[in-house]
Amino acid sequence: MGLDILKIYPKLKTCGLKIFQALRAWENFICSSHNSCCCRKLISLTPLSLLFFSSRGQVLVTVAAGMTLLLGMAAITVDAGTLYLQRQRLANAVDAAALAGAQELPARPALAYQQAMAYAEQNGCSPEEVVVQIAPSNKKITVTAQRQIPLFFARTLGHQTASVSAQATAAVSPVKALMGAAPLSIEEQILVFGEEYTLKSAPSEGGGEPLYGWYGPLSLGGSGARSYCQNLKYGYESELRVGDVVATETGNMSGPTVEGIAYRVDACHHDPPCTFEHFAPGCPRVLLVPVIVAQETSGNQIKTVRIQGFAAFFIENYARQGNECEIRGRFVHTAVSAPYDESLPGYGVYAVHLEAG
């Protein structure tokens, strides 16, 4: 643990006052014990002058000089320590504010601004101390805080206050690898925030074979209904990376699709209830879905796909009719903790990170 300079500050102050009082008492003692003509003249002089003329002055001069040096060092330490401490508090506040604001980027810059201001305030900053700036790309947010700190010892040198400031920039970048992906997919395309997309189609949709006889499920970590259902409920436990080639899951998978999606929708107990416009971080109704292009086909069916990125969708509904089930979700943006690559195109799943200042 580091030394809390504010805790020892009152003790140093008290100690300094006691030393000063002791010197004054010692001065009075010398004057009273040298009630001579010389000393009576000296009594009107400054204490320091008295020390030089006193018979015991050499010792006192040494003590006083030592104490002056000690107090001077304490002054520098205490004022500098206070400024350092306040600078660290501001740095922590702007870091937290920038990271909180970036969670809403790039889709909602106005909300990002509000979040950044709210977190700065929660971390001890007043609104007047904080400036929040969002880059035109909506992918970076910079929070700056500045504060005037009253000084104690430096006032003797004419400095009443000192200014400390801190700045942090948080950015959102497309993720290049992800754990917890849903075993579904969406073809590479321009995705529009809030629009509804089909993540798993049903045989009757679009004439029965939406994409070369494949309905959209992926085989992650093994094929079969059980593996698919587990991945749909909890997310694939291993990492998928941009550039990976994965196998498709053949068949309609209607039963496990219903079971998996119903589990996720029922698992959202957030209050207020989540919507695509405002959902709690990590809400189970948000699916992280690989964005894919066909890699290998056999006959008229896609066998493998290549992962181009990762998109996020909020499940609003799922429909089961007989042996058919389709999943539709609204395209959203979400922040996760994952490796990122700024050169990749963004598909809605972003990593939030602080930039080196």
Residues that bind Zn ion (CB under 5 A): 268, 270, 274, 280, 283
Nearer to Zn ion among residue 270 and residue 353 (C-beta): 270
Whole-number minimum distance, CB 356 to Zn ion, in Å? Answer: 34
Nearer to Zn ion among residue 179 and residue 268 (C-beta): 268
d(CA 196, CA 215): 17
Whole-number minimum distance, CB 111 to Zn ion, in Å? Answer: 17
Nearer to Zn ion among residue 153 and residue 313 (C-beta): 313
Nearer to Zn ion among residue 220 and residue 232 (C-beta): 232
Whole-number minimum distance, CB 167 to Zn ion, in Å? Answer: 34
Whole-number minimum distance, CB 313 to Zn ion, in Å? Answer: 14
Nearer to Zn ion among residue 9 and residue 314 (C-beta): 314
Alpha helices in the chain (DSSP H): 5-33, 37-42, 47-53, 57-102, 109-122, 225-234, 254-267
E runs forming strands in 95-254? 130-134, 140-150, 161-174, 177-179, 186-187, 196-200, 218-219, 239-241, 245-248
3-state SS assignment for residue 293 = strand
3-state SS assignment for residue 194 = coil
User: What are 319's two structure tokens?
Assistant: 């429909």
Mention every residue, 6+ apart, whose C-beta is less than 8 A from residue 251. Answer: 215, 217
Whole-number minimum distance, CB 293 to Zn ion, in Å? Answer: 31
Identify whether 284 is preceded by a cis peptide bond (ω within 30 of 0). Answer: no
Over its C-alpha atoms, the chain yields an Rg (Å, rounded) of: 34
Whole-number minimum distance, CB 283 to Zn ion, in Å? Answer: 3
Torsion of CA 262, 266, 267, 270, to 10 degrees: 140
Nearer to Zn ion among residue 151 and residue 274 (C-beta): 274
